[in-house]
Structure 1
Amino acid sequence: MMGPVLAACLLIILSTAWISQANGATCKKDGGVCTCNDQTKNVDCSSKGLTAIPINIPADTDRLLLGSNKLSSLPHTAFHGLNKLTFLDLNYNELQTLPPGVFDQLNDLKTLDLQQNQLKSLPPKIFDKLTKLTLLYLQNNQLQRVPEGVFDKLAELKTLDLQNNQLRSVPNGAFDYLSNIKTLWLQSNPWDCSCKDILYLRDWINDNKDKVTGAQDAACGDQQSKAVLEITEEEAAEDCVYPNTTTAIPTTIITTLASSNDDDIPELPVPQENFQKFLGYQEPDHLPTQPQCLMSISGYLGLMMSLVLTSAAILYVIHFLKKA
């Protein structure tokens, strides 16, 4: 009678091992690339040369470190199921865009580090679900603009770093809902002080000098010796239009072009990237990379092996039950 008992035990052990492998393959102890701490719920995948986010990150992870890798894009489901995260580090990667909704399930997130990437823009509402966020690092990117209202839901935010980007202005009211902001970095951006849009930023800095780190260093792009907070209405007299490029086009030029004869209007080259956006073309959300494919194949092979062993154990139990 010991045969069926032993077989049943073997079945339980194999099933437990399979579940562990399926849920924890990202950790080194299970054959993955990340260091996982079960006590602190910390998963460290930094400095691994990753081009894709590892699969099967434990659902109860509190801190996820993905910095200093080679991530150039993220799938919109990258962090789905990780609603326990309070700290997410994506700094020193190669991110050029962020898909809409990528952070929508991270309702408890308090720190988001996106510094030192290649971001040129942010999707509208990208931070809307991060209502508990207190630290947001966006410095050392290539941001040319921020969407209107992109920070409106961040009432708990205490630190916002926007320094060393390509910002020429911010939308009117961009910082009005940051009721708990303590530190804001704005320096090392080419602020356009010839356009009326800059007056909102000037007034906000003047009203919040104690919160803007290096307020005097937020200087005009064309005259770095002059601070934004010193600009007058006469100096910022132009009504400027900011398309999705780095160049502001004064409305006086647009009016002149519109009133000119067709023969006098120069042909303006349209960047291929902007033309594709105009036509509604979008890059595929995410293509699997070689490391991710290899990890997936490894996981499937492990799953198949577990199923084979489990089937063998079941047949073993049936055989002994029939003999009994």
Structure 2
Amino acid sequence: MMGPVLAACLLIILSTAWISQANGALCKKDGGVCTCNDKTKSVDCSSKGLTAIPSNIPVDTDRLELDYNKLSSLPHTAFHGLSKLTLLSLQGNKLQALPAGVFDQLVELDELYLRQNQLKSLPRVFDKLTKITYLDLEGNKPQSLPEGVFDKLAELKTLDLNNNQLRRVPDGAFDYMSKLNRITLNDNPWDCSCNDILYLAKWLATNLERHAGANCDQSSKAVLEITEEEAAEDCVYPNTTTAIPTTIITTLASSNDDDIPELPVPQENFQKFLGYQEPDHLPTQPQCLMSISGYLGLMMSLVLTSAAILYVIHFLKKA
């Protein structure tokens, strides 16, 4: 009678192991890459060399820290399902863009840290963050802000925009943040020769208690001191992401077909030309290792389970 009992026990043990492998644990206590605190509902994945957002982040997470990894892009669904987040930190990565809708489900978010990335533009991705009070965008690379980018942030109290590449802001950029009490705009190359700087100059002059000041790129003069006479030009800024250098156009127009040089095509552009696109979610190296070990464990479990079943059948036939 011990044969069937042992076989049944073996089946239970193997089933438990298989379920554990299939669930794919996230936190260090379960063999994952991040550290979780059940009491504070916080998940810390900082400084792990991650190239993608870890999967299976608990849906009740309150604080998520992903600082100082190697994230260069985010899928638009990166934080979907994490509607209870109040703090999200992505500082010190290599993010170059923010996809539309990436923060749309973070309706309870209070603090968002995006400093020290490579963001070249700031699209309207903050509209759903109506409860946010702290937004840190220091140390990125946008040259301008889209109209209305901060219009929905009525509760925002602190906005850090220093050390970017901002040359101007659109009219009314800060008008809807009625609770704003601190904004940093220094260390930007503000273009005080163009008349679209006048909105910022007037806003700074009438909100002295809210900011630490900002200077013109052409001189050390404070932006708030710029007059209409000094900023009289109507400037048009080219779209640097799509504009073709005029020297190349002139060269190609004046050359014969035989004289046109063969221009090297960057690999990423060639891949885009062929229709190749990066997948939304790339597993990190620790995740890959965990997945491989999970598959091996699953296969081993299935083999042992099959052997146990065959053993039970064989035993019953003999009985």
| Same fold at TM > 0.5 | yes
Aligned partners of 1:108 and 1:132 also within 8 Å: yes
Q: Distance in 2 between matches of 1:74 and 1:282?
A: 17
Q: Which amino acid aligns with 1:288?
A: L
Structure 2 vs 1, CA of residues 51 and 219 (structure 1 numbering), >3 Å: closer, same or farther?
Answer: same
Q: Which amino acid aligns with 2:143?
A: Q
Q: Distance in 1 between matches of 2:107 and 2:276?
A: 27
Aligned partners of 2:54 and 2:284 also within 8 Å: no
Displacement after TM superposition at 1:290 (Å): 5.5
Q: Which amino acid aligns with 1:134?
A: T
Is 1:138 paired with 2:134? no
Q: Distance in 1 between matches of 2:3 and 2:81?
A: 41
What is residue 52 of structure 1 aligned with on the other side? Answer: 52
What is residue 169 of structure 1 aligned with on the other side? Answer: 168
What is residue 202 of structure 2 aligned with on the other side? Answer: 203
Displacement after TM superposition at 1:286 (Å): 3.6
Question: Residues 44-102 of structure 1: CA distance to partner in whole angstroms, max 9, x if unpaired?
Answer: 11111222222221221111111011111112221122122111111111111112111
Structure 2 vs 1, CA of residues 36 and 211 (structure 1 numbering), >3 Å: closer, same or farther?
Answer: same
What is residue 83 of structure 2 aligned with on the other side? Answer: 83
Q: Distance in 1 between matches of 2:61 and 2:8?
A: 33
Displacement after TM superposition at 1:299 (Å): 4.0
Q: Distance in 1 between matches of 2:308 and 2:107?
A: 43
Q: Which amino acid aligns with 2:132?
A: L
Question: Residues 138-170 of structure 1: CA distance to partner in whole angstroms, max 9, x if unpaired?
Answer: 001112112111111111111110000000001
Is 1:221 paired with 2:217? yes
Aligned partners of 2:151 and 2:176 also within 8 Å: yes
Displacement after TM superposition at 1:244 (Å): 3.0
Q: Distance in 1 between matches of 2:19 and 2:131?
A: 33
Amino-acid identity (%) = 73
Aligned partners of 1:25 and 1:299 also within 8 Å: no
Alignment of 1:1-324 (within 5 A): 21-23=21-23, 25-123=25-123, 125-212=124-211, 214-215=212-213, 218-223=214-219, 225-245=220-240, 267-269=246-248, 284=278, 286=280, 288=282, 291=285, 292-304=287-299
Unaligned runs of 5+ in 1: 247-265
Aligned partners of 2:135 and 2:158 also within 8 Å: yes
TM-score relative to the length of structure 2: 0.78
Task: Report the more deviating stretch, 154-163 or 308-317.
Answer: 308-317
Q: Distance in 2 between matches of 1:228 and 1:219?
A: 5
SS state at 2:204 partner: helix
TM-score relative to the length of structure 1: 0.77
Q: Distance in 2 between matches of 1:78 and 1:158?
A: 26
Q: Which amino acid aligns with 1:238?
A: E
Aligned partners of 1:24 and 1:57 also within 8 Å: no
SS state at 1:43 partner: strand
Q: Distance in 2 between matches of 1:108 and 1:319?
A: 59
Q: Distance in 2 between matches of 1:80 and 1:321?
A: 51
SS state at 1:219 partner: coil
Q: Which amino acid aligns with 1:42?
A: S
Aligned partners of 1:144 and 1:245 also within 8 Å: no
Q: Which amino acid aligns with 1:297?
A: I
Cα RMSD for the two superposed structures:
3.4
Question: Residues 109-163 of structure 1: CA distance to partner in whole angstroms, max 9, x if unpaired?
Answer: 111100011111122x211111111111000111211211111111111111000
SS state at 1:105 partner: coil
Q: Distance in 1 between matches of 2:296 and 2:77?
A: 24
Aligned partners of 1:25 and 1:55 also within 8 Å: no
Question: Residues 260-297 of structure 1: CA distance to partner in whole angstroms, max 9, x if unpaired?
Answer: xxxxxx93558x99xx8xx9x99646462551444443
Structure 2 vs 1, CA of residues 142 and 58 (structure 1 numbering), >3 Å: closer, same or farther?
Answer: same
How many residue pairs get aligned? The number is 294
Aligned partners of 1:51 and 1:72 also within 8 Å: yes
Q: Distance in 2 between matches of 1:161 and 1:116?
A: 12
Task: Report the more deviating stretch, 49-58 or 135-144.
Answer: 49-58
Structure 2 vs 1, CA of residues 321 and 84 (structure 1 numbering), >3 Å: closer, same or farther?
Answer: farther
Q: Distance in 1 between matches of 2:306 and 2:280?
A: 36
Q: Distance in 1 between matches of 2:207 and 2:76?
A: 36
Q: Which amino acid aligns with 2:153?
A: L
